[in-house]
């Protein structure tokens, strides 16, 4: 048997608007920019991405679920995405419900707010995971068994916490420095846990689609289904299931429609399933496999950048100050029992906010700048701090 385990991550943050110090005390709207066309307009961005990516990709997935009884995949869907979809594209949620009902679409748990709360406040982390699990139960009548850390963060001590929350398996990056000579295609048991399993992203084959697919300077451009299938077959010689983990927006947003990514995926699914003994598996399917061995993540690994570390979120003083000051308000905010204040706090924990403050490559003007909703990391930081002042003001008034 040879298998593909396709897992897609859907997320949108609630970007905060250009919140001025002069708004403090006068205006408590952080997340809804009255200017639809502004850089931070969540509604505009959601609708744009929906048109380019969500709708056509949903159609592609639905079509293949219908055509191929063997087609399966897994999704993680953040709470902040679900809230935005409920406001701006409720039909997407209905379509999700239908897909999940087929029993061939798996859901992966995570923090509702796509946060790095694990590293700041364990109580907050646990309650955000619980909120996500209960949201899945409410909307989709589904109880996830597999967990993923935000941006695929994982380390050994996180594994213990994840297991204690009742999950059977956790996703992580199949990073060479952790794996050494071992293959990412096997299931491993997580060091330090009783029986938590680790499913590792095959980043080479995943990134061929997610990042390189349309790169004309790539030696393998243009990528054909035949070529890619040959690579998958080669990889299956060392562990027979390939974990293809990527952002949902790979389809239509990172790789635009005109790159041919939709046709490619459509043909790949059909072609793969036409071969004898080829399968698709969900992450829950894989969680039942017996582990090939034990794997330890002594330090935190993510799926981001060439460093595969946390430096895009926790790498500079702006990020440290913004986030540590935010979490420092947590106890007082919960004590206030003010639901709006608590909700605002939790939306601010979303990791994208720290990402926009990343200065790693800022001087060279690179991709981080491209994906930012702000003019600069400094602007992102200034608005965030102004919002913290506003939270303080609300707490004391």
Partner 1 sequence: MKILMLGWELPPHNSGGLGVACLNLSRALAKDGAEIDFVVPYEATHEDITFMRVLSASHLDPLFRYGIGAYDTKYIEDLIIPDVRIPDAISQDQISIRHIQKTYCDFVEKYLMEYRPDLVHAHDWLTFEAGVLAKKNFGIPLVAHVHATEFDRAGGNGGNPLVHEIEYEGLTLADKILAVSESTKRIIEEKYGIPGEKIDVVYNSLDETFLNSVYSLDSEEYLYLRQLKSAGFTIVSTVGRFTIQKGLSHLLRAAAKAVRKNPKLLFVFAGDGEERNELVARAAELGISKNVIFTGFIRGKQLRDIYELSDVFVMSSISEPFGLTALEAAHHGDVLILTKQSGVSEVIRSSLKYDFWDENKLANAILSVANSPALRETLKDGIRAEYQKISWGDVAQKCLNAYNNIKHKRV
Of 94 and 366, which has the nearer Cβ to partner 1?
366
Residues 384 and 24: their CA atoms lie apart, in Å, by 12
Residues 158 and 193: their CA atoms lie apart, in Å, by 10
Q: Which residues pair with 115 in a beta bridge?
A: 350
Question: Which sequence positions are flagged as catalytic?
Answer: 151
Tell the smallest beta-carbon distance from residue 388 to partner 1 (Å).
Answer: 10
Cβ count near 366 (within 10 Å):
11
Provide, for the chain, the percentages of residues in helix, strand and coil under a 3-state DSSP scheme, each rounded to the nearest 5.
50, 15, 35
Q: Which residues pair with 147 in a beta bridge?
A: 109, 170
Tell the smallest beta-carbon distance from residue 149 to partner 1 (Å).
Answer: 26
| Residue 20 in tokens | 């001025």
| Residue 347 in tokens | 């939306």
| Residue 336 in tokens | 């206030």
Of 271 and 376, which has the nearer Cβ to partner 1?
376
Tell the smallest beta-carbon distance from residue 122 to partner 1 (Å).
Answer: 24
Tell the smallest beta-carbon distance from residue 378 to partner 1 (Å).
Answer: 5
Of 116 and 196, which has the nearer Cβ to partner 1?
116
- Residue 220, classed as helix, strand or coil, is coil
Tell the smallest beta-carbon distance from residue 18 to partner 1 (Å).
Answer: 8
| Residue 353 in tokens | 């906010």
Residues of the shown chain interacting with partner 1 in the complex, contacts defined by CB under 8 A: 20-22, 316-318, 320-322, 359, 362-363, 365, 375-379, 381-382, 385-386
Residues 134 and 142: their CA atoms lie apart, in Å, by 9
Kindly state the helix (H) or strand (E) to which residue 109 belongs, with its residue range. strand 105-109
Residue with tokens 């380019």: 52
Of 155 and 316, which has the nearer Cβ to partner 1?
316
Residue with tokens 């102004």: 386
């Amino acid at each position: 048997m040879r298998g593909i385990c396709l897992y897609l991550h859907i997320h949108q943050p609630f970007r905060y608007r250009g919140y001025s110090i002069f708004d403090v005390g006068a205006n408590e709207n952080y997340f809804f920019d009255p200017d639809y066309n502004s850089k931070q307009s969540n509604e505009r961005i959601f609708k744009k991405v929906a048109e380019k990516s969500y709708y056509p990709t949903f159609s592609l997935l639905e079509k293949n679920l219908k055509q191929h009884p063997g087609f399966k995949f897994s999704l993680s869907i953040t709470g902040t995405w679900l809230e935005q979809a409920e406001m701006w594209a409720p039909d997407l949620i209905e379509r999700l419900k239908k897909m999940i009902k087929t029993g061939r679409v798996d859901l992966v748990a995570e923090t509702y707010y796509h946060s790095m709360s694990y590293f700041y406040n364990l109580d907050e982390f646990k309650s955000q995971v619980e909120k996500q699990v209960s949201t899945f139960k409410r909307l989709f009548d589904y109880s996830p068994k597999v967990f993923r850390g935000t941006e695929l963060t994982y380390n050994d001590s996180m594994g213990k916490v994840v297991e204690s929350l009742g999950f059977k398996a956790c996703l992580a990056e199949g990073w060479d420095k952790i794996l050494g000579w071992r293959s990412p295609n096997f299931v491993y048991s997580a060091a330090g846990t009783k029986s938590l399993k680790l499913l590792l992203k095959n980043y080479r084959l995943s990134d061929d689609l997610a990042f390189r697919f349309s790169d004309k300077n790539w030696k393998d451009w243009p990528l054909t289904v035949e070529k890619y299938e040959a690579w998958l077959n080669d990889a299956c010689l060392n562990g027979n299931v390939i974990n293809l983990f990527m952002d949902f927006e790979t389809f239509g947003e990172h790789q635009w429609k005109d790159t041919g990514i939709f046709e490619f995926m459509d043909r790949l699914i059909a072609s793969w399933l036409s071969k004898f003994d080829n399968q698709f598996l969900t992450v829950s399917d894989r969680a039942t496999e017996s582990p090939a061995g034990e794997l330890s993540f002594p330090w935190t690994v993510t799926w981001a950048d060439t460093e595969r570390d946390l430096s895009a979120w926790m790498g500079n003083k702006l990020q440290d100050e913004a986030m540590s000051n935010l979490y420092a308000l947590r106890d007082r905010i919960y004590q206030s029992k003010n639901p709006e204040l608590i909700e605002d706090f939790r939306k601010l924990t979303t990791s994208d906010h720290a990402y926009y403050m990343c200065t790693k490559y800022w001087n060279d003007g690179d991709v981080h700048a491209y994906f930012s909703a702000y003019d600069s990391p400094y602007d992102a930081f200034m608005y965030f701090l102004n919002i913290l002042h506003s939270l303080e003001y609300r707490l004391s008034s």
